[in-house]
Amino acid sequence: MAHRSRQDRPVAPATETPRPTSRDVARVARVSQATVSLVLGDKWRGRVSERTAALVRGAAEEIGYRPNLAARNLRLGRTRTALLVVPALTNEFFARVYAGASAVAAEHGFGVVLYPSPEGIGPAKDPFASARAALDGVIASSMAAQALTAIRGTDLPLVMLDSDPADRGAAGHVNLDIADGMRQVTDHLLALGHRRYVHLASAVSSWTFDVRARALRSALGAVPGTELRTVRAALDVGSARAAAEGALTASGPRPTALVCDDDILAAGACKAARRLGLRVPEDLTVTGFDDLALATAVEPELTTVRLPAERVGEQGMTALLAVLSGREPEETDLPVELVVRGSSAPPPAG
């Protein structure tokens, strides 16, 4: 009788390691499956102690448990996805807002889709066949609620960032104390002795830029002997340079300080000064707003207002999660900080 070779013998199928279940998590953590469900579903607050919640999360990590998100989403009627709408992808501020929002979202099993409005701050088109079917909520940065009608439908919750708090089309607002930031700029420049100002303002019409303009006018208007002119420019270095050159060569006494709505405009103002043979800050002080990476890339480095963009995103996602849980989101103005660098100095004598 012929013997089969080792190669001819049937090979038993490899035994697949069973995937850990919530029951396994409960066994390791020594709690009930209901407790595991509450903790991993992020519904434990007020029902389970923080110590128990930490035990459950630790047990899940120890055995490599991963919840079946697809099944849970179907059961809850949730996609666990938020849409972050921004005016542009080229601005560093919005990238940092996204980083903050996505970090908080990940902690709660959510994802964030970043979407630039095709028309800038104009009406944003629905990027999906149906936003209501694809999303749980919308976060919008530096836009108006009416620009998001096509995305929101009628019942999709909306949280607004850096936007008009009087806009009642939103379920929550997270804002920066923009007015205080501009007051910090004017306090600094007035203390240095500046009296002739040009406001290099953004040509984009939005709440955040309107607040900057009002705060600047109010602060300087309260000080006798100050002069303020406003010129507008698109948010790019070339447009800012041209507008600043025009302001600096206009008839009458030359301004000693250019207060710019953001760091990009300030970079253009610095280029204009160099083209005209003016030194920053000896002949002309220039200030920015936002504290982008650009602020320390130019020479001299910009005096500017630091905005906690990541914190804005974190608070925005936290507010949306509160709305989705049926809670009232906390509304607060996040503090901003003037960062004094080399582009500001006392005005030239005479």
Q: From CA 112, how far away is CA 135, in angstroms rounded? A: 10
> pLDDT of 240-296, one tens digit each?
999 999 999 998 899 999 999 999 999 999 999 999 999 999 999 999 999 999 999
How are beta strands 337-339 and 304-306 bridged, if at all?
antiparallel
| 182-193: average pLDDT | 97
> pLDDT of 53-111, one tens digit each?
899 889 888 888 766 544 444 344 467 889 898 888 888 999 999 999 999 999 888 88
Cα 72 to Cα 13, 41, 94, 254, 334: the distances in Å are 31, 9, 31, 66, 35
Q: What is the pLDDT of residue 74?
A: 39
Average pLDDT in the 186-195 region? Answer: 97
Q: In this predicted structure, what is the pLDDT of residue 119?
A: 57
Of the ranges 59-68, 164-173, 187-196, 236-245, which one carries the lowest mean pLDDT score?
Answer: 59-68
**Model confidence band, residue 154 (pLDDT cutoffs 50, 70, 90):** low
Q: Which contacts of 42-48 are long-range, i.e. CB under 8 A and separated by 24 or more positions? A: 42/108, 42/109
**pLDDT at residue 3 greater than cutoff 70:** no
Distance between CA atoms of residues 302 and 231, nearest Å: 20
* pLDDT > 70? residue 10: no
Instruction: Tell me what pLDDT residue 70 has.
Output: 43
Average predicted confidence (pLDDT) for the chain? 85
| More confidently predicted of 193 and 206 | 193
**In this predicted structure, what is the pLDDT of residue 228?**
96
Structural domains for the chain: 20-67 (1.10.260.40), 78-174+309-332 (3.40.50.2300), 178-307 (3.40.50.2300)
Strands 81-86 and 137-141: parallel
Handedness of CA 142, 149, 236, 90 (dihedral sign): positive
Q: What is the pLDDT of residue 2?
A: 47
pTM of the prediction?
0.74
pLDDT at 8 over 70: no
pLDDT, position 133: 56
- Provide CB contacts within 8 A for 170, sequence distance 6+: 145, 158, 159, 160, 163
Q: What is the per-residue pLDDT across 295-331, written as a single tens digit (0 to 9) for each?
A: 999 999 999 999 999 999 999 999 999 988 888 888 8
122-127 mean pLDDT: 60
State how far the Cα of 137 lies from the Cα of 147, in Å rounded to an integer: 15
Report which of residues 186 and 22 the model is more confident about.
186
Look at 261 and 11; give whichever has higher pLDDT: 261
H-only helix segments in 10-86: 22-29, 33-40, 50-63, 69-76
